[in-house]
């Protein structure tokens, strides 16, 4: 077989060149593969449509505006059994996001501490961390979730045990935890967006925080530039703190911000922010489980840094804690961050196990009760898959931006 790789022949283009000419072969293969993929997707859609038609079903999402008829036990927005399936789905999505965010944060802290402690010269500390890592890595997550939730239910007191007892700002019971609730006596109100209401006060606080951190970052970069130019770094700590705190404090004072505390009324507490026991158990279990895997990534990243870096820092008189924070960890991040992305994705998807302990996340609402009540398995599962796909791609995008920022650059 003759393969042509030179300039086109004088006699013109021939169809055989699409296969035998290396200039066109790769394009031909890609077009054929794309055409085959589109045929496969078309066949799947056609087959699904025919099967739905045979069952007397059509494909639409109008069920989202029907009355749900069930309760959501953990909710960040107003909801009742007369609300729509769409609103229930939004609540489930919010519950998933809250659990994923706080879980990733605490798992990162636990993982970093455990990874560093496992390399400690203290034999007891190192072995205890090894037991923690191996125990959580080698036992299924669902078992840990059930164990932790059971411990929370059995170890914490019941609400009736707090009668004639000064509770304070935070109350932990076997039904869940109660925290102070942020209230605004002169607030901006809410905006009704149909499926849910948005607090303008909450949006204002978020906007002020984002703007404050952006201004603080600009001040820090200006200080870095001056240090690079003159060798002297100006003290901008108070300016950076003021950029974040002063606008926020001014807004909170202007809107009459205060805290509402939980109070025992009847057989349960009222007021404050309520967090279910299932959320606490899931949060602890997911954090401990994922933290064990992050600990191994941190340990691998630290071991990847040359020992000479530590010895050089000690020779300069830098203390061990400063050496770890300023020399070792910044270099180890280049090894730690890529597997850390996978652990964040795993934790986010593992929140779907919440249905085992009665926590109403997106899988429990949209992919559970709503699916069973409406019989719209195709629509609900597509929405559920789309949600997890979007949140996973968002996490990957953000973490890859951070990974690109800390990547070692050649001069």
Task: Tell me the DSSP string of 194-261.
Answer: SS-EEEHHHHHHHHHHHHHHHHHHHHHHHHHHHHHHHS-----HHHHHHHHHHHHHHHHHHTTEEEEP
d(CA 382, CA 366): 10
**Do 280 and 397 sit in the same domain of this protein?**
yes
User: Does residue 1 register a pLDDT over 50?
Assistant: no
pLDDT for 289 equals 95
Angle between helices 85-117 and 377-406 (to 10 degrees): 40
Q: Determine how many CB atoms are found less than 10 A away from the CB of residue 207.
A: 12
Q: Give whichever of 147-161, 322-336, 382-396 has the largest mean pLDDT.
A: 382-396
Q: Give whichever of 261-270, 316-325, 368-377 has the largest mean pLDDT.
A: 368-377
Express each pLDDT in 66-124 by its tens digit: 888 888 888 777 778 788 888 888 889 999 999 999 999 999 999 999 998 998 888 99
How far is residue 260 from each of residues 173, 257, 273, 345, 381, measured CA to CA in Å?
A: 18, 10, 9, 35, 39
**Do 211 and 265 sit in the same domain of this protein?**
no
**Do 113 and 125 sit in the same domain of this protein?**
yes
Q: Which of 244, 260, 276 lies at the terminal end of a domain, its last residue?
A: 260
Mean pLDDT of 317-323: 82
pLDDT for 64 equals 87
Residue 304 is assigned to a structural domain of this protein: yes
pLDDT for 192 equals 67
Residue 168 lies in domain:
65-180+261-406
pLDDT for 11 equals 58
User: Does residue 394 register a pLDDT over 80?
Assistant: yes
Residue 319 is assigned to a structural domain of this protein: yes
d(CA 49, CA 316): 71
**Do 126 and 154 sit in the same domain of this protein?**
yes
**Do 2 and 91 sit in the same domain of this protein?**
no
Dig out the tokens for 2 from the structure: 């003759």
| Cβ atoms of residues 144 and 289 within 8 Å | yes
**Do 134 and 276 sit in the same domain of this protein?**
yes
**Do 150 and 284 sit in the same domain of this protein?**
yes
**Do 224 and 79 sit in the same domain of this protein?**
no
d(CA 251, CA 292): 41
Residue 390 is assigned to a structural domain of this protein: yes
Residue 411 is assigned to a structural domain of this protein: no
Residue 125 is assigned to a structural domain of this protein: yes
Mean pLDDT of all residues in the chain? 84
User: Does residue 263 register a pLDDT over 70?
Assistant: yes
**Do 108 and 205 sit in the same domain of this protein?**
no
User: Does residue 409 register a pLDDT over 70?
Assistant: no
User: Does residue 213 register a pLDDT over 80?
Assistant: yes
Q: Which of 208, 238, 260 lies at the terminal end of a domain, its last residue?
A: 260
Residue 56 is assigned to a structural domain of this protein: no
Express each pLDDT in 339-360 by its tens digit: 999 999 999 999 999 888 888 8
Number of domain units in the chain: 3
pLDDT for 223 equals 86
Q: Which of 28, 8, 10, 9 is nearest to 18 (CA)?
A: 28
**Do 331 and 202 sit in the same domain of this protein?**
no
Instruction: Kindly report the pTM of this predicted structure.
Output: 0.81
**Do 36 and 115 sit in the same domain of this protein?**
no
pLDDT for 410 equals 56
Q: Which of 234, 260, 286 lies at the terminal end of a domain, its last residue?
A: 260
Residue 58 is assigned to a structural domain of this protein: no
Check residue 231 and give left, alpha or beta (phi > 0: left; psi -120 to 50: alpha). Answer: left
């Amino acid at each position: 077989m003759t393969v042509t790789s030179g300039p086109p022949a004088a006699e013109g283009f021939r169809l055989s060149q699409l296969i035998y000419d290396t200039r066109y072969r790769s394009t031909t293969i890609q077009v054929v593969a794309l055409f085959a993929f589109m045929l496969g997707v078309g066949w799947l859609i056609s087959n699904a449509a025919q099967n739905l038609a045979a069952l007397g079903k059509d494909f639409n999402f109008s069920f989202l505006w029907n009355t749900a008829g069930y309760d959501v036990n953990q909710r960040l927005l107003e909801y009742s059994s007369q609300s729509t399936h769409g609103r229930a789905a939004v609540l489930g999505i919010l519950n998933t996001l809250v659990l994923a965010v706080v879980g990733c944060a605490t798992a990162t802290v636990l993982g970093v501490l455990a990874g560093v402690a496992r390399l400690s010269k203290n034999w007891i500390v190192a072995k205890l961390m090894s037991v923690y890592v191996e125990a959580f890595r080698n036992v299924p997550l669902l078992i840990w979730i059930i164990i932790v939730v059971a411990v929370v239910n059995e170890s914490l007191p019941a609400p009736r045990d707090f009668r004639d007892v000064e509770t304070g700002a935070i109350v932990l019971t076997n039904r869940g935890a109660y925290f102070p609730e942020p209230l605004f006596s002169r607030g901006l109100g809410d905006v009704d967006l149909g499926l849910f209401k948005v607090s303008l006060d909450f949006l204002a606080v978020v906007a002020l925080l984002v703007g404050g951190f952006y201004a603080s970052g600009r001040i820090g970069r200006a200080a870095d530039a001056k240090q690079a130019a003159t060798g002297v770094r100006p003290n901008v700590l108070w300016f950076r703190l003021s950029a974040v705190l002063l606008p926020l404090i001014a807004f909170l004072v202007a809107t009459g911000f205060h805290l509402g505390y939980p109070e025992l009324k009847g057989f349960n507490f009222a007021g404050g922010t309520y967090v279910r026991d299932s959320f606490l158990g899931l949060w602890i279990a997911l954090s401990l489980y994922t933290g064990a895997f992050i600990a191994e990534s941190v340990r691998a990243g630290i071991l990847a840094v040359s020992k000479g870096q530590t010895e050089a820092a000690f020779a300069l008189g830098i203390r061990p804690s400063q050496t770890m924070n300023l020399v070792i960890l910044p270099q180890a991040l280049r090894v730690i961050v890529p597997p850390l992305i996978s652990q964040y994705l795993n934790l986010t998807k593992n929140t779907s196990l919440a249905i085992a302990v009665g926590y109403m996340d997106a899988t429990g609402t949209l992919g559970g009760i709503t699916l069973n009540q409406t019989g719209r398995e195709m629509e609900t599962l597509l929405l559920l898959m789309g949600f997890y796909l979007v949140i996973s791609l968002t996490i990957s995008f953000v973490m890859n931006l951070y990974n690109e920022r800390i990547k070692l650059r050649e001069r």
